[in-house]
Amino acid sequence: MAGKFEISKRKNGEFQFNLKAGNGQVILSSEGYGDKAGCRNGIDSVRRNSQDDSRYERKTAANGKFYFNLKAGNGQVIGTSEMYEREAGRDNGIDSVKQNAPEATIEDLTEDKGATKA
């Protein structure tokens, strides 16, 4: 199964995306965007930058867990991973982003499917 980007809306009205692997696990989450166009631009940036290993910032949280940020060419974080117990898990997460992001479909969960307007 191929990966996919899911666009959703936060309670504060901002849009965000999650990149999910073929098994449905979230492997990368975005920041909040003021509009859907910005969110889609973020997805395009993930696709462009995902193959460049130098764009991945490998981090260790204060609690000792491991995670990574994917950065754009300008240094801005465009996505953050989940927390991993081991470095190997974090590295597998990076490999999963590299594998899934380029061809991932986009599913917009904010579009109203089938509702009628009064």
Please give the Cα distance from 4 to 109 (Å, whole number): 12
- What pLDDT does 115 receive? 47
**Three-state DSSP class for residue 105:** strand
Dump pLDDT digits (tens) for 54-64: 999 999 999 99
Dump pLDDT digits (tens) for 64-115: 999 999 999 999 999 999 999 999 999 999 999 999 999 999 999 998 655 4
- What pLDDT does 92 receive? 96
Q: Give the domain ranges of the chain.
A: 4-108
Please give the Cα distance from 70 to 74 (Å, whole number): 11
- What pLDDT does 111 receive? 80
Written out in words, the top-level CATH class of the domain with range 4-108 is mainly beta
Question: Concatenated DSSP letters for 3-62?
Answer: -EEEEEE-TTS-EEEEEE-TTS-EEEE---BSSHHHHHHHHHHHHHHTT-GGGEEEEE-T
The mean pLDDT of 19-35, rounded to a whole number, is 95
Please give the Cα distance from 94 to 103 (Å, whole number): 15
Share of residues in the chain with pLDDT > 90 (%): 91
Average pLDDT of the chain, as a whole number: 93
